[in-house]
């Protein structure tokens, strides 16, 4: 219940495309796909390898969240002019 409340609240106050691109965007996909190029078999996927991928993906995710949030703040004036009925956060 809490997850659906937060998600519906986010859709009311933000653009729906921004939610989907935060957690799975091009930097995260690039890091994961480049990491998988080195995998030749299941035995290559170790805890050390997974930790290395996470050390690259987590900062990329946090940077992407900051970029999307900053973009949402910059678009408030544009959205105000385009969509008068959009609630502001």
- Is residue 67 predicted with pLDDT exceeding 80? yes
Euclidean distance between CA atoms 40 and 9, whole angstroms = 43
Residue 28 structural domain: 2-82
Predicted TM-score (pTM) of this structure: 0.61
Task: State yes or no: pLDDT of 48 exceeds 90.
Answer: yes
| Residue 87, in any domain of the structure | no
Q: Does residue 30 lie within any of the structural domains?
A: yes
Q: Is 10 within a domain?
A: yes
Residue 40 lies in a domain: yes
Number of domains in the chain: 1
Residue recorded with tokens 């409340």: 5
Q: Does 11 map to a domain?
A: yes
The answer to whether position 89 is within a domain reads no
**Rounded CA separation 54/60 (Å):** 10
Q: What is the per-residue pLDDT for 28?
A: 84
Higher-confidence residue of 3 and 74: namely 74
CA distance from start to end of the chain: 22
The pLDDT of residue 63 is above 60: yes
Q: Are 64 and 27 in contact (CB under 8 A)?
A: yes
Tens of pLDDT, residues 19-40: 666 667 788 888 888 888 888 9
């Amino acid at each position: 219940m809490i997850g659906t409340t937060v998600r519906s609240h986010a859709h009311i106050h933000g653009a729906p495309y921004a939610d989907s691109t935060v957690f799975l965007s091009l930097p995260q996909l690039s890091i994961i796909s480049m990491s998988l190029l080195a995998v030749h078999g299941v035995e290559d996927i170790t805890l050390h390898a997974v930790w290395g991928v996470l050390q690259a993906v987590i900062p990329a995710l946090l940077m992407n969240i900051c970029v999307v949030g900053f973009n949402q703040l910059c678009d408030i004036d544009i959205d105000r002019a385009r969509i008068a009925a959009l609630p502001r956060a």
